[in-house]
Amino acid sequence: MIYLDNNSTTPCDPRVVEAMLPYFYEKPGNAASRSHPFGWVAEEAVDYAREQVARLIQADPKEIIFTSGATESDNLAIKGVYEMYRRKGNHIITVKTEHKAVLDTCDHLEKQGAEITYLPVGYDGRVDPEVLEAAIRPTTILVAVMWANNETGVLQPMKEIGEICARHGVLFFSDATQAVGKIPVHPRDIGVHIMSFTAHKMYGPKGVGALYVSRKNPRVKVTAQMDGGGHERSMRSGTLNVPGIVGFGKAAELALAEMDQDAERLSQLRDHLERELTALEETVVNGNRDYRMPHVTNISFKHVEGEGLMMTFNQNVAVSSGSACTSASLEPSYVLVSMGLGDDLAHSSLRLSLGRFTTREEIDEAIRLIGNGVNHMRELSPIWEMYKEGVDLSSVEWSEH
């Protein structure tokens, strides 16, 4: 089984697991128990992990708030800013291709009286900074733009957006889940004031994430979304997941040491994968190819249905398709549709995301299996046959029956 779905989650690095193990049994303390050595040991482990995570993004350890994952971090950031800065304004700017954790949170706030502007993206998946600047109002309190897209790997023009936010005195939040640990991500240099990320996208455990909250220039405050014992500077109450946080810290340390060589190796493998697959007829890479993550590609195979294509090889290769299973139907990816792809191309796309443990042999085998699958699906497809005969498919009137 070849695993090419690392944007969904990454395998836990064995070195991370090794670091975590003692904290399940030998060192079982609660980091908030200050009255005995078990608690002190746990607190010390959490403090060290906080330093490791902060070092990865060049932040102050006090700017790291531990959460249960990126979805909680997104909610805490957006709802927390909205509640804290509501008197200043109620307008939030975001992008149509954001992760659902951001879009659904904005949708929730809209029902509470927030005004949300959803910016479009170009065919390459990037937002136009000028369009963003034009959307800023006197009531704008937050701009929310993801660092790297989860479906295409496309990187947004973060530096320019940071400068725009600074000029207008608006807070800048980024969901950097897909970027942290894989490329250098330094929020303070870019002008990002609040940033979410998670351990399980960078070879750490599931169920633990973080929110970076700037403490100076500007000092940002967010209203807690979970109340309790005042943990995590009273921004996020709840007993800390000590083994998970230790694993997060170790994953951050490894990422800092190894991300450059990982990125170089994976970009070469990804480029090889793209070259071979785009040699197939009517095959296109979606999104900007200059500004993107090194380990991910999103490819559409014209006149081939993505879910059907996956059925030809999904016992052997794990990837994700450009269709999302909803309760009643297969919807094309909203990210690809927002980029201007027609339903046919959006439906025919695969996202292939490589990782630290992906080998050249696995990539070569994946190329063979996917290529065979595409050819097989097209042989069975009357639409492909019509296309090959020169029929203009856009002019065909399709019957309901």
Give one word for 150, left, alpha or beta, with left for phi > 0 and alpha for psi -120 to 50: alpha
Between strands 91-95 and 115-119, the pairing is: parallel
Selection from 255, 210, 253, 260 nearest residue 235 by Cα:
210
> 7 with 353: CB under 8 angstroms?
yes
Q: Which residue has the tokens 């959460």?
A: 67
CA distances from 272 to 41, 276, 300, 360 (A): 47, 6, 16, 9
Q: Which residue has the tokens 């201007």?
A: 340
Which residue in 12, 106, 165, 325 is the catalytic one?
A: 325
Q: How many angstroms separate the CA atoms of 225 and 196, rounded?
A: 15
Tokens of 199: 């351990």
- Element at 386 (helix H, strand E): helix 382-388
- Element at 41 (helix H, strand E): helix 37-56
Residue 325 known to be catalytic: yes
Return the SS3 of 130: helix
Count of other CB atoms within 10 angstroms of residue 337: 18
Q: How many angstroms separate the CA atoms of 90 and 115, rounded?
A: 6
- Cβ neighbourhood burial of 139 (10 Å; 0-12, 13-18, 19+): exposed
Give the count of alpha carbons within 13 A of 333, CB side only: 31
Count of other CB atoms within 10 angstroms of residue 21: 13
Q: How many angstroms separate the CA atoms of 16 and 251, rounded?
A: 6
Tokens of 35: 């009255």
Catalytic site positions: 325
